[in-house]
Amino acid sequence: MPFHFRSFCGVLRQPLRNIHLRGFPASHIFRARISGMAPPILSLALPSETGRVLSIQSHTVQGYVGNKSSVFPLQLLGYDVDPINSVQFSNHTGYPTFKGQVLNGKQLWELIEGLEENNLLYYTHLLTGYIGSVSFLNTVLEVVHKLRTVNPKLTYVCDPVMGDEGKLYVPPELVSVYREKVVPVASMLTPNQFEAEKLTASRIESESDGREACNILHAAGPSKVVITSINIDGNLLLIGSHLNEEGESPKQFKIRIPKIPAYFTGTGDLMTALLLGWSNKYPDDLDKAAELAVSSLQALLQRTLNDYKRAGHDPKSSSLEIRLIQSQDDIRNPQVNFTAERYN
């Protein structure tokens, strides 16, 4: 019996109309390109229950930062992830030297156009991390708009990577673009203390200041804000805030985080990926999502520290590459050892 691609498409589409696929419209699930006899894109035709993520971040050949630190954990949590590498370097920039290429805004848009021309531009989530230029960030904003014309319910998770410990490591003009253009279109923000201060033009010197910074950011746009690390009187905290409904007070909480005497690369990228992954599974319980994310990350960091010591290396002497692959069980099924404390 001859194979008819049109008939095959019809057979496959029929039951999909009766299945709830986490916001995937039936009209977009399957568009056969009969002339080229192209097979279906299964991540669109039969999407994962969790979602489909476009991740625009840096990439290194060796080591785990940017997309290398984000894609694998999200896949372990059940997501289809399509990475676009904003840079491709041999290794992270903390090494004595690095080589590689930088993607510009025009090249990013060409990739988006290629996806659009082949009906591949349906995503449930957009994730962005380090961005090094205003032109590229402005193109990312165009990408957000384009993706939301395809899926108005797109969740945009933004890690506004600008600096840390009082020091910017992006051009200063990026700060205003983040504050004025990116924050209003983001669904979730995951700044550190320094970045939250830059975005709110305020100082964070207490827990109350951290909570107020979250309120300022809510008023500007995102319903979920997680300040991933705040140093208050020598104590390290995560402060999270979820504004469920306009006009209501946000649900706010903190998680106490132990200080580890070492510096790790890629942890911010990993943390944001974990927060995306778990907050989508628990959309009304940001506390629980943060508990799972922090517990995964802390288990991974402790394993990394122990492995360096076992190899005879002093962890305080240099930045450490995280043991991502070896920690996959802690990512997939974390034991919750860090619990959220709800503010009244």
139 contact partners, CB below 8 Å, separation of at least 6: 105, 106, 108, 109
Per-residue H/E/C for the chain: CCCCHHHHHHHHHHHHCCCCCCCCCHHHHCCCCHHHCCCCCHHHHCCCCCCEEEEEEEEECCCCCCHHHHHHHHHHCCCEEEEEEEEEECCCCCCCCCCEEECCHHHHHHHHHHHHHCCCCCCCEEEECCCCCHHHHHHHHHHHHHHHHHCCCCEEEECCCCEECCEECCCCHHHHHHHHHHHHHCCEECCCHHHHHHHHCCCCCCHHHHHHHHHHHHHHCCCEEEEEEEEECCEEEEEEEECCCCCCCCEEEEEEECCCCCCEECHHHHHHHHHHHHHHHCCCCHHHHHHHHHHHHHHHHHHHHHHHHHCCCCHHHCCEECCCHHHHHHHHCCCCCCCCEECC
Among 269, 307, 314, 329, the active-site one is: 269
Tell me, yes or no, if 269 is annotated catalytic.
yes
282 contact partners, CB below 8 Å, separation of at least 6: 288, 289
194 contacts 178 by C-beta, under 8 angstroms: no
> Looking at the chain, how many residues does it have?
344
311 contacts 108 by C-beta, under 8 angstroms: no
Q: Which residues are catalytic?
A: 269
